[in-house]
Amino acid sequence: MDITWLVNLLAPYLPVLLGLGKQAVGKGSEKLGEKAAEQIWNQLSPQVEAKAAAKEAVEDVAKNPDDTDALASLRIQLKKILEHPENKILAEEIVKILEDTKPTTKEGSNHTTVNANDNSVIGSVGHSNTVTQNIGIKPSP
């Protein structure tokens, strides 16, 4: 399970889910994210409430969804909860919700060349989200 994706999905909605105020989300797939966050939170909250450190991490992120330290703490706590053997079914259910929420991508290829001060950078992004980057420095004449 991608814990980072899970935390990034939940973080903007935690203030609302905890009754602390408005969510801090941008435009785009707000409704899909909101629905998924609510589904995940409904399943995850009993485990979070039962663990003081997890509850504190959630409250910290709800107060400041952009705090990188709070997000890191929440990632650690959710990872501990979801990797616990007795939470295997919970983790599987959350994975299903996340899979339905992840944005789809088109396969393709993008090649870029940048030249600056005799440095050449060539990057390629393509199949299966693989990023290939070759960096070379041209010798001075």
CA distance 59 to 67: 12
What is the average pLDDT across 113-137?
A: 49
Residue 26: Cβ within 10 Å count: 8
Percentage of residues in the chain having pLDDT higher than 70 = 62
115 C-beta neighbours (distance < 10 Å), count: 10
Cα 11 to Cα 71, 76, 90, 136, distances in angstroms? 8, 14, 19, 39
Q: Are 42 and 97 in contact (CB under 8 A)?
A: no
The pTM for the full model equals 0.61
2 closest CA partner among 64, 95, 136, 124: 95
The pLDDT of residue 124 is 46
Instruction: Kindly state the percentage of the chain with pLDDT values over 90.
Output: 33
Which residues neighbour 11 within 8 Å (Cβ) at sequence distance 6 or greater?
A: 61, 65, 71, 74
- How many angstroms separate the CA atoms of 6 and 9, rounded? 5
- Per the prediction, the chain carries an average pLDDT of 74
